[in-house]
Amino acid sequence: MNRLALPLLLFCSVAAAAAEIDESRRTAVVRAVERAQPAVVSVHVIHREPVYVADPFRELFFPNSPYTYRYAGEKERITGGSGLIVSSDGLILTNDHVIAVSPSRRQRRPPRIEISLPNGRMLEAKHVGSDNFLDLAVLRVEALDLPVAPLGRSSDILVGEWVIAIGNPFDLGPTVTAGVVSAVDRDFQETKGDYHYRNMIQTDAAINPGNSGGPLVNAMGEVIGINSFIYTGSSYSTGSIGIGFAIPVDTARRFLDEVRTHGRVRKPWTGILGMRNLTPKLGHYLDLSISQGALVTGVAVDSPAYESGLERGDVIVAINDEKVRGKEEAWGILKGLRVGDTSSLDVVRNDGEHDITFRLEELQQQRQGWY
């Protein structure tokens, strides 16, 4: 063996080992992040709010009165979260609670929305539409050839599979956390604010304030959910304890189809004016054979529900083959449907069980406030 052979052999061995180590670092998680992260944006909402200060003169003559304070100008308050680019021409999906576009009583004008791309580029966004029940919203920016993350299917999620949460927690910038799918089909009977969360994906990937609206992706880099909220275990904790929830991408996909087709979110209308929980005592009083369900307390005349035969006093026990134990479950299912969808109700009256089916119509302006 000549003098150069041994060093060359050693060099090749080291290079081969380095290449093997480098390849081992490129795990499925790394490849998934590389595929999805370019389409994840940071959302900043700039609110302009009035400032009032105490006026000593007014305080003297109007103590403990609203007239004590005078308008002293405006200040900016910035909130935010994350978003996902879903079309190359500028459509961005996020949570409705992230943007909160409806001006509060303290605001004089709607907030301004700014989008920060992973490369640092800043764009102003316009609100296209929201689903005020499902906590989803769509924004639009004036840009072309934007990166788009592939949407997967949430219907075939495996409990225990690896997932990655991507977003902008605490406004730190693009951040990645990994975990597993802890559970699926989590329903929350009580609404959280104005939102109904159903069939949620539970994960132990760290989700913190600011992650809302960002994607939960699988090991293939496909989006399977929209990160929405966390369980903290107390009223004062603000960080993740490993229990986070994401809206299934199948739900988000239907919402996006509605916006793309109609340019807005059409509000569905059943004509059911009210429901209450059926209790064992109430069921006995009404001479019913059941003790759980959603008792219908009112139906609008000439509505889809009315025309199909639904009556005041009917008890809904299932909707589209999903069991209903109370009014929150019933509202949650109905509010997740779209205009044109068919609703099949299993109802119980004191004369027996009945099947009632109708198609949801669009809620007209004169009926705003109904459902």
The tokens of 355 are what? 């099947």
As a whole number of angstroms, the distance between CA 360 and CA 369 comes to 16
Active site residue 262: no
Per the CB < 8 A criterion, the answer to whether 214 and 82 are in contact is yes
Active site residue 212: yes
The tokens of 192 are what? 């959280």
Residues β-bridged to residue 128: none
Out of 47, 97, 154, 314, pick the active-site residue. Answer: 97
Dihedral of alpha carbons 309, 314, 316, 321, sign: negative
Active site residue 116: no
Out of 96, 135, 204, 314, pick the active-site residue. Answer: 135
The tokens of 75 are what? 């200040």
As a whole number of angstroms, the distance between CA 211 and CA 98 comes to 10
Dihedral of alpha carbons 169, 170, 172, 177, sign: negative
The tokens of 256 are what? 């996006």
Residues β-bridged to residue 54: 69
As a whole number of angstroms, the distance between CA 154 and CA 156 comes to 6
Residue 222, phi then psi, degrees to nearest 5: -95, 140
Per the CB < 8 A criterion, the answer to whether 299 and 347 are in contact is no
Out of 42, 116, 212, 240, pick the active-site residue. Answer: 212
**Which residues carry out catalysis?**
97, 135, 212
